[in-house]
A = this chain, B = another copy of it.
Amino acid sequence: MAVEFVDLRAMFLRTKQGIHEFMSILQPRIENAKDDHERLYYHHIFEEEEQRLDRLNALLPTLDYYIDNAESRNSNDFQFIRLLQDISLEKFGLHNFLEHLDLALFSFKDPEHQDKLTKMRNITADDYQTIKVILESLNENFDGAANAAGSTPTDEKEDVDASLKIDKYTSTTPKQGDLIEKPREEKKTTKRLTVGSLKGTKEVM
């Protein structure tokens, strides 16, 4: 279990570095934009990644706390449940980053940027597959507490038409080395920090 939290910590530090690198790529495009539309477009993506950075910076000390205090990890502790839910939201954040990087690959066509962005998108794609496996394991160990509204991208929603999804993101093939022995189960029983949690466990969504 401890390994999962340590892995998440390394992943979040890695993606923080990615955010900084990506923001430094976007910055000159914002500053030298040819018109208001282009300026707003790059500003907008920059701002969303900066927000993800703010969230990660707030999350990491709590993660560190539970790495150091394994005895405090339990699914009756509000703070710990909230950490699990925040981690679940960062799963969406990684998927979103992947799309930001793929969008950037359409705009930054010179070899140097292509190379840098491709490396970042491949690292992010790997991390995204890994965080899904970790969350599955955390949900098994903590009564489904690591579910949060807003953590599942459109691409992976069963009730969304394929015409709205992007094929390359719909694959859930685990990377080599991941141990998934059974199909992913949706709609697990879960414990959440909502009004429902005042009344006990309930189904999510």
Contact = CB atoms under 8 A, between A and B. Distances in A.
Interface of A: 27, 30-31, 36-37, 39-41, 43-44, 46-48, 50-52, 54-55, 57-59, 61-62, 64-65, 78-79, 82, 92, 96, 99-100, 102-103, 106, 148-150, 152-155, 163-166, 192-198, 205
Contacts of A65: 195, 198
How many copies of this protein are present in the complex? 2
B79 A150 contact: no
Given A37-B103, A61-B196, 9 more contacts: A31-B163, A47-B99, A47-B155, A54-B205, A55-B149, A58-B149, A62-B194, A64-B195, A82-B193
Nearest to A205: B54
Contacts of A96: 44, 47-48
A146 to B, nearest CB: 15
B166 A103 contact: no
